[in-house]
Amino acid sequence: MNDDSNFIMSVESKAIDLGFDDVGFCKAHIPPITRKRLIEFIGRGRHGEMSWMSEKLYTRLNPINMWGEAKTALVVLANYSNDKNPLDFLEKKNNGLISVYAQNKDYHKWIKGRLKNLTSWILSQTRGKAKVFVDTAPLMEKPLAEASGLGWVGKHTNLISRSFGNWTFIGVILFDFELTSKTKPLKGLCGTCSKCIDICPTNAFPQPYKLDARKCISYLTIEHKHHIPRKYRSLMGNRIYGCDDCLAICPWNKFAKLSSNIAFKAKKEFNNPSLQKLSKINEVEFKKMFSGSPIKRIGRNQFIRNVLIAMGNSSSKSMLPCVVKLINDDSSLVRVAAIWALGKLSKQRFNIEKRHNFNKERDKDVKKEWMLTYNEIN
């Protein structure tokens, strides 16, 4: 299909009518520098336990590797910015901090449904085939959004929009026909600013535009399925699902328009929830509380692990009864985190509980945690 400004304008109008906040077009192609960075990321093992990234590396390098007929990418943005700055809640240590994107229902369903509607409408106007993607396939959405003129990838490896700052969800439709847009890619507008790199609690950015996911709190609280490495626990603060520090500190957020989409409004119970209340939920209650939420996929045990790390970082003795109870949880993942948290909160109570529980414990990782924490605080 040749350049058709009227058609592009009608598509953009339809996308906005469906609830998207911005839309752009580009060739279904990933720039060489981005491919090089991805290969280095995988080669250095910086993807951690996200094995699907290495397994699908070739596919991820270019859209055509996933779908040989891909020629054009239509990229949409959905703004989820709200009026609260996550950085303001870091000192509320008795409460947990959940990443802004996860404070309501899972965004995938909302975006995918509307992308399918948009796709159907476009294909009713012209012949062709299409495939829809929302962050679940081996497709690099952020460089496509950059090529579409919707923003640029910042030094923290996330998309920055002039209109919405760092708070956007990305959706992509690939088409088997060419659709040329006159929009040019935005050049990076970060300049000498390095606030996103400097603020990272765990130094997860070895260089600008490069991330070591293994150090990232978002990765550690969501993708890492095992015990949190001890060297990162104190640095996690009260972050119990994800981390928004590098997003929230970006100066471009001052231009961000607040989202009017009710689907992305934070649920009251997910906005800085009580750590003590969260620590008491069982498997059934967890599934009910987080039904339809992205948090549900990490499971109750991993979530309580995160909550216990935050409780240990709270320095609040009021947490002790909840922490002590979880020392005998069925999950070794939870028990390890509870032992560490107890050691952070009370040396005296820790030594009492160790005398009562150490010899009964059969899990080697849990016994090791008892000893490591004992040696650390005594």
Question: Token pair for residue 249?
Answer: 């500190």
Question: Token pair for residue 79?
Answer: 């703004």
Active site residue 135: yes
Neighbour-count burial of 105, counting CB atoms closer than 10 A to its CB (0-12 exposed, 13-18 middle, 19+ buried): middle
- Pairing label, strands 22-27, 72-79: antiparallel
| Ramachandran region, residue 191 (left: φ > 0; alpha: ψ -120 to 50; beta: rest) | left
List of residues 6+ apart from 237 with CB closer than 8 A? 90, 93, 97, 201, 310, 313
- Determine contact, residues 118/14, Cβ cutoff 8 Å: yes
List of residues 6+ apart from 292 with CB closer than 8 A? 105, 106, 109
Q: Between vectors from CA 105 to CA 104 and to CA 111, what angle results, nearest 5°?
A: 120
Closest CA to 334 of 325, 343, 346, 344: 325
Catalytic residue among 4, 106, 135, 176: 135
Phi, psi for residue 15 in degrees, rounded to 5: -60, -40
Report the C-alpha gap between 375 and 378 in whole angstroms: 6
Sign, Cα dihedral of 327, 332, 334, 340 = positive
Report the C-alpha gap between 172 and 55 in whole angstroms: 22
- Tell me how far the alpha carbon of residue 156 is from its chain's centroid: 13
Closest CA to 84 of 253, 278, 224, 288: 253
- Tracing tokens 């150490």 back to the chain, one arrives at 358
Known catalytic residues are 135
